[in-house]
Amino acid sequence: MTPDDARAALDDIQRRHEQSRAAEARHGFSPFYLGVLALIVLVSYASYDLPNPWNGAMLFPVVALVALLVIAYVRRAPVLRKPGSGELLVGVAAGILLAAVIKGLATAIGTAGMPTPHLIAAAAGAVVCLLAARPICRGADALARLAGRRS
């Protein structure tokens, strides 16, 4: 075993790691999952425009939809990986930020006197999900790799 052979083996190991990560990302960011995620955001927040007692009632079927989505993901994914604590933290922070932005936007639209403020804000939130999900998760993955290299 020469140093060059060892370096070639290490390069191949690195390439295979990337191959696994890319397969996981390809599956997670497929149009199906991103579309359902955007639909979940749209439907759950838009339902707040409905009159009582239906105000926010869509949250319950949405929880069931999320559960089905998770089951479908686990059963179809070519590569399954438990997210690290850093990735979970980024995910929770992004969720809270999105909820705050949608709520703030809905309040602003409502104050301006426009009808269905939650529907408009939720539609904007859904578009943000479609556009931002991939970069956010790439950032979380980069953070996880950085943490892995430091440990």
Partner 1 sequence: MDGDFDEFLHVPARLTIVALLAPASWTEFGFIRDAIGTSDSALSKQLSALAAQGYVEVRKQPGTGARRTLARLTPHGREAFGAHAAALERIAAAARAPHPVD
Instruction: Point out which residues bind partner 1 (CB under 8 A).
Output: 1-7, 9-10, 12-13, 16-17, 19-21, 23-24, 75, 77-82
Shorter beta-carbon distance to partner 1: residue 52 or 85? 85
Shorter beta-carbon distance to partner 1: residue 3 or 31? 3
CB of 118 to partner 1, least distance (A): 38
What are the distances in angstroms from CA 149 to CA 112, 144, 145?
50, 9, 6
CB of 5 to partner 1, least distance (A): 8
Shorter beta-carbon distance to partner 1: residue 13 or 146? 13
Full 3-state SS string of 28-65: HCCHHHHHHHHHHHHHHHHHHHCCCCCCCCCHHHHHHH
Please choose, from the candidates 113, 38, 26, 93, the residue with its C-alpha nearest in 3D space to the C-alpha of residue 69.
38
Name, in order, each residue with C-beta under 8 angstroms of 50's C-beta and a sequence gap of 6 or more.
56, 57
CB of 20 to partner 1, least distance (A): 5
CB of 24 to partner 1, least distance (A): 7
Shorter beta-carbon distance to partner 1: residue 59 or 76? 76
Shorter beta-carbon distance to partner 1: residue 85 or 111? 85
CB of 16 to partner 1, least distance (A): 4
What are the distances in angstroms from CA 127 to CA 11, 51, 52, 123?
39, 25, 27, 6
